[in-house]
Amino acid sequence: MKKAGLLSRIPAEVWKIDWNVNSQAIGNSETSIKYLAPYVFKVAISDHRIVKVEGRDVFIRYKKTGSDRWRTMKLDAMEFLRRFLQHVLPTGFMKVRHYGFLSKSSSITLDHVRQLVKMACDISVMGSEPKLEMAPPFICPDCGGKLKYCYSIPAFQMMSLNTG
């Protein structure tokens, strides 16, 4: 930080915070950039999926969900741009894809991660499904019996019934 001239830009309060840093060596900086780059710099459609451009038509390759077969789709240039721009984030936002135990290809379950956190920190971690309590039944104010729901009359219909 000092060599880069950034030390003076860090607020003094930062140095008073007890940081808990868990870092593991993964090689040199080039290795870490190669590891993280696919998670940060992913575009909506890669160049190799654009087959060709003819006049105002763009031909792209895609796979249907659940299929391994590549298909070709023809889109008008404006429709292609509209779909592409839906993936552009507003200024100040950064997209980071899931990696580690949140990755789709991870074999570690969330329950296993919860157990590890509990063991390491000796804290309880909320389970995957919250327990919902049943609402108490509606009770008749006169006899104390259970009420059975039959139907509702919306407020606007009530007004027309009273005025008619």
Give dist(CA 50, CA 58) in Å, integer. 7
- Residue 77 included in any domain: yes
Give dist(CA 55, CA 74) in Å, integer. 12
Contact 7, 1 (CB under 8 A): yes
- Residue 21 included in any domain: no
- Residue 7 included in any domain: no
Place of tokens 């895609």: 62
Residue 50 has a pLDDT of 93
- Residue 81 included in any domain: yes
- Residue 55 included in any domain: yes
Of the candidates 52, 54, 56, the one whose C-alpha atom is nearest the C-alpha of residue 77 is 56
- Full pLDDT tens readout for the chain, 164 residues: 777 777 888 888 878 887 766 666 666 667 766 766 666 666 778 888 999 999 999 999 999 888 899 999 999 999 998 888 887 777 777 676 677 777 777 888 888 888 887 777 766 555 556 666 777 778 888 888 888 877 777 665 555 555 54
Contact 60, 45 (CB under 8 A): yes
- Residue 37 included in any domain: no
Structural domains of the chain, count: 1
Residue 47 token pair:
């160049």
Give dist(CA 23, CA 29) in Å, integer. 14
* Dihedral Cα 100, 105, 36, 46, nearest 10 deg: -150
- Residue 143 included in any domain: no
- Which amino acid is it at 65? T
- Residue 137 included in any domain: no
Range of the domain at 67: 44-91
Of the candidates 36, 43, 52, 142, the one whose C-alpha atom is nearest the C-alpha of residue 84 is 43
